[in-house]
Structures are given as C-alpha cells and as structure tokens.
C-alpha cells in the first residue's frame, strides 16, 4: 500500500482523496496552503520560480512530514516551465534528504503509453472495470464541486447576511466528501445546491455587474494564492464567472482538444501556442466582451512567461472590445489587502463606465 499525496488545488482534494482511497492506498491529504507552506516552498525553490512551484513544493514537504511516500502530480506540454516542475521538485526533495516516488501524469494526447503505464502504477489489484467505476464517481464528484462553486458565485453578491453563502458552500463540500456512490453524490449535490439557493438575498439588480476570471489555472483555482479573489469580488456585489474549472480543463486538454473556439478568438492577436494559458487568456477576454460582461480579472504568477505575453496584448484587446481588464501578478510578497484595494478600484471603474463618467 502506497501513502499517496497530491497537489492542493481548490476543493479538488475532496474528490482525489476518494480516488486514492478506493484504489487501495493510504491518503495523505495535502494540507490547505498557508504562509508556512509558502515559506517552506520558497526556502527550497529557485528565486525565479513562480508561486505555484513554491506552494506545491511546500505542500509536498508538509505531506512528506505527515508520512507520504508517493507524490502524484501532472506535467504539461508546450513552452511552459510547469512541464518540468515535477522533475525539478523531485530533485530538490532528494537534495534535502527526501526520496518519495514521483508519479507525473502527462496528457494522454501526448503519449498514451506513458499515461497508461502511470495508471498501472496506481491501479493496484483493482480490475479495469472497478477502476473505471472509481474514476467515473471521482469525475462526477469533481463536477458536483464545480457546480457548487459556480452557484455560489451567482448568489454571494446579493446575500443578506455576509458569509452565509460561503457557509453553505462548506456544508455542501462536506456532504460531497462523505458521498461515495453515484446516488449519494447526486443527492449531496442536489441538496447542497438547494441550500445555497435558499440563502436570503437582497433584491437582485436588473443588470448585475458581471466579471470574468481568467489566467493561469493554479492561481485561478487556489484561493490561498489569489487572495480569495472570487469571494472578494462577490462581497463587492459582483457576479464572477470563472473561465477554468478542473473538469473542463481536464476534458479539453486530456481527452479532446476542446479549446479550439477560444484559440480561434485569440488568433487575430496571438496565432500560436505560447505555453500555459497565455493564448486562452486572450481568447477568453474576447469571449467575455462578446457576452456583455463588464470586465475581466486576469490572474498570473509573477515571472509567468505565457501570461506576460498575454498581458502585453490584452491592452489592445481591451481597447478594441471596450472591456476593462485588470491584471494581478501574484507572488509570495502579495498581500490580501493590496489585492482587495485594487479590486475595489476596478469595480468603481466599472460602475463609472456604466454611468458614462469614464470611457
């Protein structure tokens, strides 16, 4: 039996814990990132590494101290450093005296044989039919977790009692954590959505302020890194639409090439892959402008080359499509108060734009 840990990315640990446990391994749950995690990771990381690298390394160190002997993570394709992070983090861990097994999944579209060899490592004695059932339930649990967070972003801006929506989200996530069968997962999802929709709200405006959230996947999905930007915007009265969920990213990048629409939108401004989500950030900005959103929040790790490329193009897109965009570069020096101040100013700008006070 392996003692397996994996990256902490938003609420996905709830589904992945079930997956690892049902495959017959011991789950070493990755701790939610804290300043301690970031300090740990920063201490042992190259100075030029981005914040996802540092937080992941810190998470692995904390999990190893809790007993993990195997780390399962993902690789990547294209000109982005993230594709080498697993290898580099493994070498760093060895240099400081740890020797965990590293299982790095590359997209099956890149190499199906490599992907299947990693599956066999984790499959254990389970039959292929049993494996498919476990993966299917894990997938539906991930979808349910995404559904709850999307619904919360629609309700939070109008909640009567501040914090009530977030409270119901946590209760719903706990219910999904307990659910194991397809029937239980479906029931937990529906019950949680029902509770979130029952949160007492103020009268909703006829035309709510809507903002799209784009950028590098880890900083978009992990609230610790992005200073809880979705919650902050919601409490400022803004409906947030997140462009990336773990399920749509997995579907569009591992099973099918499902990002053709976004890349087609980006092509007049950026006609080639620059790694990570750089090209997507351009296309998604256009997508939100064409769907009458009031603005876009662009999240990027400091020193992230793909998002730096996107940032250099976004002002032209913003001008052409008349949509405000704010870019937040994030690193270990980023403070929540600073992010909140910038978001407050951005929302004020949107309100003034609606009133015609600014162009």
Against a cut of 0.95, is the pTM above it? no
Residues recorded for the chain? 359
- Residues in Cβ contact with 55 at an 8 Å cutoff, skipping those fewer than 6 apart: 33, 37, 38, 41, 218, 222, 224, 225
Confirm if 211 and 294 have CB atoms less than 8 A apart. Answer: yes
Q: How far apart are CA 285 and CA 283, in angstroms?
A: 5
Q: Which pLDDT does position 81 carry in this prediction? A: 78
pLDDT at residue number 139: 95
For the chain (359 residues), the mean pLDDT of every run of 10, in chain order, is 93 96 95 94 92 95 96 78 85 94 82 84 91 96 96 96 96 97 97 97 92 95 95 96 88 70 92 86 96 97 92 96 96 92 97 85
Say what the pLDDT of residue 272 is.
86
Q: What is the CA radius of gyration of the chain?
A: 21
Q: Which uninterrupted H or E stretch holds 213?
A: strand 209-215
Rounded CA gap, 9 and 47, in Å? Answer: 23
Model pLDDT, residue 77: 66
What local confidence, expressed as pLDDT, does residue 200 receive? 95
């Amino acid at each position: 039996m392996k003692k397996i840990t994996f990256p902490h990315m938003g609420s996905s640990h709830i589904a992945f814990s079930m997956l690892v446990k049902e495959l017959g391994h011991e789950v070493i749950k990755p701790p939610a990132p804290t300043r301690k995690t970031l300090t740990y990771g920063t201490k042992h990381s190259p100075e030029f590494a981005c914040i996802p690298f540092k937080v992941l390394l810190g998470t692995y160190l904390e999990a190893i101290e809790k007993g993990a002997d195997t780390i399962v993570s993902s690789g990547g394709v294209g000109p982005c450093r993230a594709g080498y992070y697993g290898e580099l983090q493994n070498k760093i861990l060895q240099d400081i005296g740890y020797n965990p097994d590293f299982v790095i999944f590359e997209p099956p579209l890149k190499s199906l044989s490599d992907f299947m060899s990693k599956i066999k490592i984790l499959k254990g004695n389970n039959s292929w039919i049993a494996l498919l059932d476990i993966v299917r339930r894990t997938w539906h649990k991930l979808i349910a977790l995404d559904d709850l967070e999307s619904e919360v972003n629609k309700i939070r801006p109008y909640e009567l009692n501040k914090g009530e929506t977030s409270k119901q989200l946590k209760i719903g996530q706990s219910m999904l954590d307990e659910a194991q069968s397809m029937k239980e997962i479906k029931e937990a999802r529906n019950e949680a959505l029902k509770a979130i929709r029952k949160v007492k709200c103020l009268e909703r405006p006829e035309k709510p302020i809507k903002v799209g959230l784009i950028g590098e996947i880890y900083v978009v999905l992990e609230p610790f890194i992005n200073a809880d930007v979705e919650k902050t915007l919601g409490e400022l009265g803004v409906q947030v639409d997140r462009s990336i969920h773990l399920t749509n990213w997995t579907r569009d990048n591992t099973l099918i090439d499902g990002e053709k629409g976004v890349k087609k939108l980006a092509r007049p401004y950026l006609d080639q892959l620059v790694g990570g989500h750089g090209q997507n950030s351009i296309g998604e900005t256009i997508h939100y402008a064409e769907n009458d959103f009031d603005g876009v929040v662009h999240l990027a790790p400091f020193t992230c080359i793909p998002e730096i490329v996107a940032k250099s193009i976004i002002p032209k897109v913003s001008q052409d499509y008349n949509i405000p965009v704010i870019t937040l570069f994030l690193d270990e020096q980023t403070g929540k108060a600073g992010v909140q101040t910038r978001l407050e100013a951005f929302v004020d700008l949107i309100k003034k734009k609606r009133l015609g006070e600014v162009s």
